[in-house]
Amino acid sequence: MKLRIDIITLFPELIRCFAETAIVKRAQDRGLVFIKAYNLRAFSSDRYRTVDDYPYGGGPGMVLKPEPIYRAVEFIKGITDSQPRVLITSPQGRVFNQSLAENLSLCSHVILICGRYQGIDQRVVELCQGEEISVGDYILSGGELPAMIITEAITRLVPEVLGDEESIHFDSFYDLILGPPQYTRPRIFKDKEVPEVLTSGNHSLIEEWRRKEALRKTRLVRPDLLERSNDEVVQEQ
Q: Kindly list the distances between the CA atom of residue 187 and the CA atoms of 182, 184, 190, 202, in Å, as whole numbers in the listed order.
A: 12, 7, 10, 17
Helices (H), the chain: 12-19, 22-29, 66-80, 98-104, 122-127, 144-155, 203-221, 223-228, 232-236
Binding residues: 115, 135-140
Q: Is 63 within the bounds of a domain?
A: yes
- The whole-number pLDDT of residue 235 equals 44
- Final residue of a domain: which of 123, 155, 187? 155
Binding residues for S-adenosyl-L-methionine: 115, 135-140
Whether residues 62 and 138 share a domain: the answer is: yes
Q: Is 38 within the bounds of a domain?
A: yes
- Which residue range forms the structural domain that includes residue 13? 3-155
CATH code for position 181: 1.10.1270.20
DSSP one-letter string for 185-201: S-SEETTEE--GGGGS-
**Cβ neighbourhood burial of 139 (10 Å; 0-12, 13-18, 19+):** exposed
Whether residues 117 and 187 share a domain: the answer is: no
CATH code for position 108: 3.40.1280.10
Counted domains in the chain: 2
Q: Is 164 within the bounds of a domain?
A: no
Average pLDDT of the residues in 87-98: 96
Average pLDDT of the residues in 166-170: 59
- The whole-number pLDDT of residue 2 equals 86
Whether residues 142 and 218 share a domain: the answer is: no
pLDDT over 70 at 25, yes or no: yes
In this structure, the number of other CB atoms found within 10 A of the CB of residue 229 comes to: 16
- The whole-number pLDDT of residue 166 equals 60
pLDDT over 50 at 237, yes or no: no
What does the alpha-carbon distance between residue 110 and residue 96 come to, in Å, rounded to a whole number?
Answer: 15
- Final residue of a domain: which of 105, 130, 155? 155
Whether residues 146 and 196 share a domain: the answer is: no
Whether residues 150 and 204 share a domain: the answer is: no
What does the alpha-carbon distance between residue 66 and residue 16 come to, in Å, rounded to a whole number?
Answer: 24
Whether residues 22 and 131 share a domain: the answer is: yes
Whether residues 88 and 203 share a domain: the answer is: no
Residue 222 DSSP one-character state = -
What does the alpha-carbon distance between residue 209 and residue 95 come to, in Å, rounded to a whole number?
Answer: 31
Whether residues 133 and 184 share a domain: the answer is: no
Kindly state the percentage of the chain with pLDDT values over 90. Answer: 85
pLDDT over 50 at 234, yes or no: no
pTM exceeding 0.85: yes
Whether residues 129 and 92 share a domain: the answer is: yes
What does the alpha-carbon distance between residue 71 and residue 85 come to, in Å, rounded to a whole number?
Answer: 16
Whether residues 150 and 208 share a domain: the answer is: no
Q: Is 218 within the bounds of a domain?
A: yes
Kindly state the percentage of the chain with pLDDT values over 70. Answer: 91
Whether residues 19 and 51 share a domain: the answer is: yes
Please state which of the ranges 42-51, 94-103, 166-175, 200-209 shows the lowest mean pLDDT.
166-175
- Final residue of a domain: which of 125, 155, 185? 155
- The whole-number pLDDT of residue 236 equals 42
Whether residues 120 and 230 share a domain: the answer is: no
Q: What is the mean pLDDT of the chain?
A: 92
Q: Is 89 within the bounds of a domain?
A: yes
